[in-house]
Amino acid sequence: MWNYKPCKMKYSYLYENESVIIYHGKGAIKLTSAGMYFWEFANGKRTVSELVDMIEEYLGLYDKQTIYKNTIKLMIDLHEKELIILNWDPLLKDRMSQDITDEIGGVVYE
């Protein structure tokens, strides 16, 4: 997953007191420290490897392997809440938009 390019899907969030609160359909999630840093830079342009390097530099305390494991856990959690795309692909986003439209109209893609 080092080469994945995670990207935010939802943009309803608020920075507050060195944290970010992300609102989604089932409530809100609060990220601080490395999680907030990840959220800020998960734009589909940086790889997980680049994000881990940035977080390591930002925190200055943790080893790269621990940051990688925690980043992957966070990515999976945010993906399950439909807040990020794990591996950004502009064509995939277009396809997802079509799927949502068609699902509303009664057609569901598998």
Architecture label for domain 7-104: Orthogonal Bundle (1.10)
Q: Using one digit for the tens of pLDDT, what is the confidence trace for 54-74?
A: 999 988 877 888 999 999 999
User: Which whole number is the average pLDDT over 75-81?
Assistant: 91
Of 52 and 89, the structure prediction assigns the larger pLDDT to 52
pTM of the predicted protein model = 0.75
Task: Tell me the CA distances in angstroms from 94 to 42, 48, 101, 110, one per residue in order.
Answer: 19, 22, 11, 16
Helix segments in the chain, DSSP class H: 33-41, 48-59, 64-80, 90-104
- pLDDT confidence tier of residue 102, bands split at 50, 70 and 90: very low
d(C-alpha 82, C-alpha 59), whole Å: 27
pLDDT of residue 11: 65
